[in-house]
A = this chain, B = another copy of it.
Amino acid sequence: MKAFVTGGAGFIGSSLADELLERGHSVTVYDNFSTGNAQFLAKAEKQQGFALVKGDLLDLAALRTAMAGHDTVFHLSANADVRMGTAHPSRDIEQNTQGTFHVLEAMRENGIKRIMFSSTGSVYGEAAVIPTPEDAPFPVQTSLYGASKLAGEGLIAAYCEGFGFQSWIFRFVSILGERYTHGHVFDFYKQLKENPSQLRVLGNGKQRKSYLYIGDCVQAILHAVEHAADRVNIFNLGTAEYCEVLDSVRWICDELKCSPEITLTGGDRGWIGDNPFIFLETAKIRGTGWAPKLTIEQAVRRTVQFLKENEWVFAAR
């Protein structure tokens, strides 16, 4: 496979690039380094068949040129800051919707027809059915992030119908593990590093959330691409469990050996557009033979261990 990985210097993209190289595929990473990190590519850069192109999805000409000669696009580049959508509304639509459109146009112009896309469980909004299956009732969006990813999904599916593309669309829960650099574990770790005796938690701490370990995520993606052959293949990715925010706090504090006083800001959600209960039905991806190896608790603990060993990521952000 001649893989082209957008956002390949990011958390998930660089992990996927490493695994593709490990399996003997060639990989070109395309990243604007707005949130990606060159250090995440240190391992990849030593492998045969690896190339790096610094570029932005909004630069269609550069994207088109860089993409030439590849056969499969793993489109992971995105503005992933779901929480801050309302602070800069144009960022999601530019990076996620317009960016995805450019990826599709560059593929079309290069005659490339296979695309894997990192969507999100946020496209279900506040799901009417939990655990939420891929064919849940038509959702109402509650975040610009979810809306921009849903728009990306729609464009990809339309290109499959209109131009004979084939796609694998993954609706992720939050991903944890090595190279993780944003999200609640990151925020809690940072607070506790500054003051181990105090922790401020958004909402009432009872929000029920789902997580998946990065290694399991990468394996699931490559497994699905190999085992699912529809024109449009949509899979939820997650474990068959969820946890409460305060469970996660307990595991994090245990790893850090601290017992902070916890301040809850209150309310059933942490911020506007926060979803108090995320739990995806993952029977479809498990039906292809994939299963996660780590539980949510193990994933949270591994993430804390990674942050302990890599505190430079706090400065790098």
Interface of A toward B, CB cutoff 8 Å: 85-86, 89-90, 93, 97-98, 101, 104-105, 108, 124-125, 128, 134-144, 146-148, 150-151, 153-155, 157-159, 161-163, 232, 234, 272-273
Contacts and interface: CB of A to CB of B under 8 A. Distances in A.
A161 B136 contact: no
Nearest to A145: B158
Nearest to A169: B140
Given A150-B151, A158-B147, A138 B139 contact: yes
Copies, count: 2
A137 B138 contact: yes
A234 B151 CA distance: 18
Contacts of A125: 157
Given A93-B101, A150-B150, A158 B135 contact: no
Most B CB atoms within 10 A — which of A86, A124, A135, A154? Answer: A154
Contacts of A161: 141-143, 272-273
Given A148-B155, A151-B154, 13 more contacts: A89-B159, A93-B97, A93-B98, A125-B157, A141-B157, A142-B161, A143-B162, A144-B155, A146-B154, A147-B158, A158-B273, A162-B272, A162-B273
Contacts of A138: 124, 134-139
A108 B89 CA distance: 10
Given A101-B93, A105-B90, A151-B151, A158 B143 contact: yes
A199 to B, nearest CB: 27
28 contacts: A86-B163, A89-B101, A89-B104, A89-B108, A89-B159, A93-B97, A93-B98, A97-B97, A124-B138, A128-B135, A136-B138, A137-B137, A140-B157, A140-B234, A141-B158, A141-B161, A143-B161, A143-B162, A144-B159, A147-B155, A147-B157, A148-B154, A148-B155, A150-B150, A150-B151, A150-B154, A151-B155, A162-B273
Closest 5 CB pairs of A and B: A151-B151, A147-B154, A141-B157, A135-B137, A141-B154
A280 to B, nearest CB: 12
Contacts of A93: 97-98, 101, 155
